[in-house]
Amino acid sequence: MFEFKQLLLNQYNINDCILFRLQVMKQADHIDRLIAKWKREAPEYDLAPVEVIGRAGRIMEFVDRALESKFEEFGISRASFDVLATLRRAGPPYRLLQRDLMQSLLRTSGSISVRIDALEREELVRREQHEEDRRSTFVALTEKGSKLLQSIIPEHLANESALVAGLNLQERKELTVLLRKWLAALEEDGASMRQVHLGMVVLPPKVSLLKRRAVGLSDQPGLLVHFVEPESIADMVGIQKGDLLVAVEDEEISSLMALRKTLNKPKPQKKKLQIFRGVTPVTLTLQTKHE
């Protein structure tokens, strides 16, 4: 036995031995193999977060494929199911204002409109004019949409049960506790990071920078627009989710306070907002209310 261990140490480095032991004890997963390679190439990196984030992301790839495949059997997408299910959970009369539906699903006005258009063509939902506010529209679940949900939900839940079948009941309970704790912490951090002005949610400069880097965009200082409320001032001006606010009247914007201070200046009343939409510079005009 000693000779066997010594042979391993001579033939492989310590990280390869770790991976070998994992394979002996149980089947190593993709993240085990990934970490072993990084440990060999760059042992100075702290890869502990990859143990969690990497696995969570890879698990969701399998989950997404399985869910989409099941919804396709019923002729709809997962995004369409989310709309129908959100309306059903709302309770009688199974309708929501379009802006409330958008906020519930964390989607932009443009993307939610496309979904509703498609569902309306299939007669699964219908738009209804608000009785008191002509600018607002309800989205309501139709009888056809309700019947489709009744067919989908049992199979959807069975599909999800199959996806967690690798864990026993106690393991699922333990995982649920940990996931709830993780999600609650992220939700709390996300809420504290968001700053609201003009009906839009912007992210702090450091977070904005990291998010742009994550999608391969340049390190341009500014405030990244995370969300735009429909029919808000920001929406009417033309600001979109993903825009990077960099300057107002050629004054650089380094914080929400700087943005508010610049917009509150009495002159000029029409202020130029300089943004980057991806890599494209765009100038928008905002009419401020000053006497």
Give backbone dihedrals phi and psi of 231, rounded to 5 degrees, phi first: 65, 15
Phi-psi region of 106 (alpha: psi -120 to 50; beta: other; left: phi over 0): left
3-state secondary structure of 94: coil
- Domain-embedded: residue 128: yes
Domain interval for residue 267: 195-287
Phi-psi region of 70 (alpha: psi -120 to 50; beta: other; left: phi over 0): alpha
pLDDT greater than 80 at residue 11: no
Residue 4 confidence (pLDDT) = 44
pLDDT in tens, 100-157: 887 777 665 556 778 899 999 999 999 998 877 777 789 999 999 999 999 999 999 9
Distance CA 138, CA 126 (A): 8
| Averaged pLDDT score across all residues of the chain | 83
Same domain (yes/no): 154, 230: no
Residues 199, 282: one domain? yes
Question: Is the domain of 153 the same as that of 200?
Answer: no
Instruction: Return the pLDDT at 287.
Output: 80
Residue after which a domain boundary falls, among 106, 139, 163:
163
Establish if 65 belongs to a structural domain: no
Per-residue pLDDT tens over the stretch 42-89: 999 999 999 999 999 999 999 999 999 999 999 999 889 999 999 999
Identity of the amino acid at 271 = K
Looking at the fold, whether 158 and 232 belong to one and the same domain comes out as no
In the listed set 145, 163, 181, which residue is the last one of a domain according to the structure? 163
Nearest by Cα to 83 from 165, 36, 18, 146: 146
User: Which element (helix H / strand E) includes 113?
Assistant: helix 109-121
**Is residue 277 in some structural domain?**
yes
User: Whose CA is closest to 258, among 222, 211, 208?
Assistant: 222
Q: For the chain, how many structural domains are there in total?
A: 2
Q: What pLDDT does 291 receive?
A: 38
What is the pTM for the complete model shown?
0.59
CATH number of residue 120's parent domain:
1.10.10.10
Quote the DSSP letter at residue 271. E
258: exposed, middle or buried (Cβ count in 10 Å: 0-12, 13-18, 19+): middle
Q: Are residues 201 and 281 in the same domain?
A: yes
Give the pLDDT band (50/70/90) at residue 267. Answer: confident
156 Rama sector, left if φ>0, alpha if ψ -120 to 50, beta otherwise: alpha
Which tokens go with 110? Answer: 């443009």
User: What is the 8-class DSSP label of residue 287?
Assistant: E
- Residue 283: CB atoms within 10 A of its CB come to 9
Task: Say yes or no: 76 and 156 in one domain.
Answer: yes
241 and 282 share one domain: yes
Residue 46 resides in a domain: no
Say if residue 144 is in the same domain as residue 202: no
Asked whether residue 123 falls in the same domain as residue 207, the answer is: no
Q: What is the pLDDT of residues 171-209, one digit of tens each?
A: 999 999 999 999 888 776 655 555 556 778 888 888 888
Any domain includes 43: no
> What angle, 0 to 180 degrees and rounded to 10, lies between the N-to-C axes of helices 2-11 and 14-25?
130
278 assigned to some structural domain: yes
Cα distance between residue 283 and residue 225, in whole Å: 15
Percent of the chain with pLDDT over 70: 84
DSSP label of 267: S
For residues 159 and 200, membership in a common domain is answered with no
Three-state secondary structure call for residue 126: strand
Tokens of residue 122, six digits:
């299939």
Question: What whole-number distance in Å separates Cα of residue 218 and Cα of residue 241?
Answer: 17
3 belongs to a structural domain: no
User: Looking at 139, 163, 187, which one is the last position of a domain?
Assistant: 163
Classify residue 39: in a domain, yes or no.
no
Rounded Cα–Cα distance for residues 36 and 78 (Å):
35
Q: Are 136 and 97 in contact (CB under 8 A)?
A: yes
Task: Give the separation between CA 31 and CA 58, rounded to whole angstroms.
Answer: 9
Q: How confident is the model over 13-27, as a mean pLDDT?
A: 51
Same domain, 133 and 200: no
CATH number at residue 228: 2.30.42.10
Contacts 24+ apart (CB under 8 A), 42-49: 43/15
